[in-house]
Amino acid sequence: MQPLTIEPNPASSTMPAVLALAFRPFFLLAGLWAVLAIALWLGQLSGWWSGQLLLPATLWHAHEMLFGFGALVAAGFLLTAAQNWTGVPGLKGGKLALLCLIWLLARLTPFVAPSQDIWLLIALQSLWWLGVIAALGRQLWLAKSRNNYQFLPLLLAMAGLNAAVLWLSQSQHWALASHLSHSMILLFCLLMGIVGGRVIPFFTARATQTEQPRTVRLDRWVLVSTLAASGHFIVSAWWPALPSPGGLLLLAGLLHLWRLGCWFTPGLLQQPLLWSLHGSYLALASGLLLMGFSLLTGWLNFKDMLHLIAVGAMAAMMLAMMARVSLGHTGRSLAARPVMAWSFATLLLCGFCRSLATALGAPHLLWQLSAALWLAAFLIFTWVYWPILTSPRLDGRAG
């Protein structure tokens, strides 16, 4: 994704820099919430406090990591990237602040609402999703950017899963709510496959001054296999007589791995903004493979393999993208501070540790270790990027 080239708007000079484009407040809030939410979860795991009021503990944890943190980063990226894709100005100012307020209220609700007020949380979450989809849809529609329409049904599906998870929790169908939370991770795999397939080979070729590989047919098969695996996994809870989705997950993982191999060039290992993206994509491919193997054999703990994707792939790719996008879209050179290499490496290690929790026979210890690694990674990000995200662009342009 190229740095923004929209000219400065004098009328917006009084607007706080943090509200100039969606990536700024969304990435900042995501970094802060990544720290606070996991700190609260670690406190619950360790018995230091009893937790929030509205959702069972594990469902709240899954909800906040997927529909709180993950969705916010994805929305921040898409709403910002769409300005480049379409030339239509992105969401900013008061409307952006209102969307942030709705998101914040949704985070607060589980701590202050009585258990029967799940509908308030559903309403807030749905309103936030609709605001994001409407803003993105407007940009794509005005520009007739048909190549990017695919993001709208994907976001609608995520919004539907969000509402369904909350409703099922209220109805005490906790196993089904958990299944749909797992399904959300696979939808993120689909999103990572689309976005990663666009930006990782482009960023790699540009930074290493090598030719960008063209894998159009492979890209199509990666998309189809991941979509098929995700759909099969989602419906498997209602039709248990269907064959296991493990085979499709294995196929998707192999195709992602093949695709990653096509992108590799040794020069990327010297640049943290590149190896962090490739490392997270490796975790995506490996996680899909191991999830499929777990479903087919039962030899691995499925939730541990799922966390390899949720942490090592999803969160790690989001951290790398937040770091890069925040530099490029604030007029800075695309060179991360050296301490960010530790942040990237720490989060990748976090995903690896979490995936070994059951296999090594010390789940509680590894949960705590992975939580500590996660906190370190996002504390570094927040410390480094707070001044970047709250300051005007260095080149004086809007954004």
The domain segmentation of the chain, as residue ranges, is 17-390
SS3 content of the chain, % helix, strand, coil (to 5): 75, 0, 25
Single-letter amino acid, residue 70: G
The neighbour count for residue 256, using CB atoms within 10 Å, is 28
Per-residue model confidence as pLDDT tens for the chain (399 residues): 343 444 444 434 578 999 999 999 999 999 999 999 999 999 988 888 888 889 999 999 999 999 999 999 999 999 999 999 999 999 999 999 999 999 999 999 999 987 778 999 999 999 999 999 999 999 999 999 999 999 999 999 999 999 999 999 989 999 999 999 999 999 999 999 999 999 999 999 999 999 999 999 999 999 999 999 999 999 999 998 889 999 999 999 999 999 999 999 999 999 999 999 999 999 999 999 999 999 999 999 999 999 999 999 999 999 999 999 999 999 999 999 999 999 999 999 999 999 999 999 989 899 999 999 999 999 999 999 999 999 999 887 777
Return d(Cα 173, Cα 160) in angstroms, integer: 16
Q: Are 152 and 168 in contact (CB under 8 A)?
A: no
For domain 17-390, give the CATH number: 1.20.210.10
Distance CA 136, CA 130 (A): 10
pTM for this entry: 0.94
